[in-house]
């Protein structure tokens, strides 16, 4: 069955970097794109970025573009989100989700809590 399993919670200091992984199984990894969505405590869902596992194309939210890097590793069917220059307002649960072409986000990871605090 389709599964997306994310790495564990992280605690970082302001200015640090974090890399969250999303290991997938149960489908052909390179046939899909992957989207990252975050949710600050008590807030709504915010789209962060998208990557194509087929050709590596990426798109990021304008406000995060300078600090976010998306990568994939097809040998392990894993997608990665790296965020640099962390700020306290980056504290959130980060979700990965599978994004088929012209289709909605159909399968989601369990979420990774990233806490940024001095």
Binding residues for other proteins, per CB under 8 A? 35, 37, 44-47, 50, 59, 61-62, 95, 97, 99, 102-106, 108-111
Shortest approach of other proteins to residue 104 CB, angstroms? Answer: 4
Q: How far apart are CA 34 and CA 47, in angstroms?
A: 11
Residue 56 CA to residue 41 CA, distance in Å, equals 31
Judged by beta carbon, residue 1 or residue 118, the one nearer other proteins is 1
Residue with tokens 């989700």: 97
Distance of alpha carbon 96 from alpha carbon 36, whole angstroms: 5
**Nearer CB in complex with other proteins: 24/35:** 35
Quick one: 42 or 75, whose CB is closer to other proteins?
Answer: 42
């Amino acid at each position: 069955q389709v599964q997306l399993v994310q790495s564990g919670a992280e605690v970082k200091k302001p200015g640090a970097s974090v890399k969250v992984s999303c290991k997938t199984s149960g489908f052909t990894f390179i046939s899909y794109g992957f989207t990252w969505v975050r949710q600050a405590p008590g807030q709504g869902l915010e789209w962060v970025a998208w990557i194509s596992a087929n050709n590596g194309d990426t798109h990021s939210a304008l406000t995060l573009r300078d600090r976010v890097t998306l990568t994939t590793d097809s040998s392990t069917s894993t997608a990665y989100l790296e965020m640099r220059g962390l700020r306290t307002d980056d504290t959130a649960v980060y979700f990965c989700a599978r994004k088929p072409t012209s289709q909605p986000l159909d399968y989601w990871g369990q979420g990774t809590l990233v806490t940024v605090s001095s």
